[in-house]
Amino acid sequence: MSVAGFLVKEGRRVLVIDLDPQANATISLGINPSGGGNTIYDVLMSRIEDYPVVTMREAIRETRSGIDLVPSTLDLVGAEPFMYKINDRFHLIANSVAQVKGAYDMVLIDTPPSMGQFMINGLIAADHVVVTFDRGVFSIRGFDTLMTIFSDIKEMVGDEVRPAMAILTQWEILAGAQERGGLGNLFQRLSSRFRGTQGEVSGGVAPDGALDAIREKIPVVYTVPFSREVDEAQRAGVPISHHSPECPAGVAYRQIAAVISGWS
């Protein structure tokens, strides 16, 4: 939600669609996933016979940060078995987004990390795919699995998925970086746009050569340093852009948002 917040601050009209049953994006934007009202669950279930029709537009809620949201809920887990009964199940989100796309400059879709109908729907609906990795769980094997998922989607559905950007979050600060010019220089490198066909990555050494493997597959790679303010912002129900925009992570996310803004 950090990117969405900076896009709104640029004056962009932004819609976030939370496709993850864990509802992290929903909670981070200050919406209670158990608070009632229409959610993405209702939108998807509308395709099931005898279920009330709920359009994407009818599920949109305003948040205090200015980001519009189609919230998620744990009930979403129950929608996936029904989706297998729908012939065009892989394009449910793409078709729903088409109904509201003209009202927004940017539509951001947050998918769950595991392979399934929600991830497939989100990836197919996207014009640009951004993948994120937490350094604490990132590995070469995990990256290879992700690329296999993209290949499987191409084989199953015929839609090609090519990631346009990778964001590596909570990137640890190296002790040696302080010796090379202090934290200020490190954060300046972290927040700069990476150039070149493979991207230039600063700030952090990837385990097992993972960073090099990413650069071979994804044209633009960003690292975002750990900042405690990110957790504080999530607890406050607002993006880092509205809570602590000048913290190290905020500076990095502002630069990322500027790149994504140019995609529209």
Q: Give the tens place of pLDDT for each residue, 11-65.
A: 999 999 999 999 999 999 999 998 889 999 999 999 998 899 999 999 999 999 9
Q: Which has the closest alpha carbon to 52: 60, 42, 64?
A: 42
Three-state secondary structure call for residue 127:
coil
Cα(233)–Cα(110) distance, rounded to whole angstroms? 18
Pairing mode of beta strands 163-171, 129-134: parallel
Cα(138)–Cα(205) distance, rounded to whole angstroms? 12
174 versus 105: the higher-pLDDT residue is: 105
Least confident span in 194-198, 204-208, 221-225, 240-244: 194-198
Sheet with 163-171, edge to edge strand ranges: 129-134, 163-171, 220-225
Identify which of 37-41, 153-157, 196-200 has the greatest average pLDDT. 37-41
Q: Quick count: other Cβ atoms within 10 Å of Cβ 211?
A: 20
């917040």: which residue's tokens? 5
pLDDT at 202 over 60: no
Cα(180)–Cα(176) distance, rounded to whole angstroms? 7
Cα(124)–Cα(158) distance, rounded to whole angstroms? 10
pLDDT at 185 over 80: no
Residue 223 identity (one-letter amino acid): T
Q: What sign for the dihedral angle of Cα 105, 243, 193, 169?
A: negative
Q: Which has the closest alpha carbon to 108: 83, 125, 92, 120?
A: 125
Q: What sign for the dihedral angle of Cα 187, 182, 229, 206?
A: positive
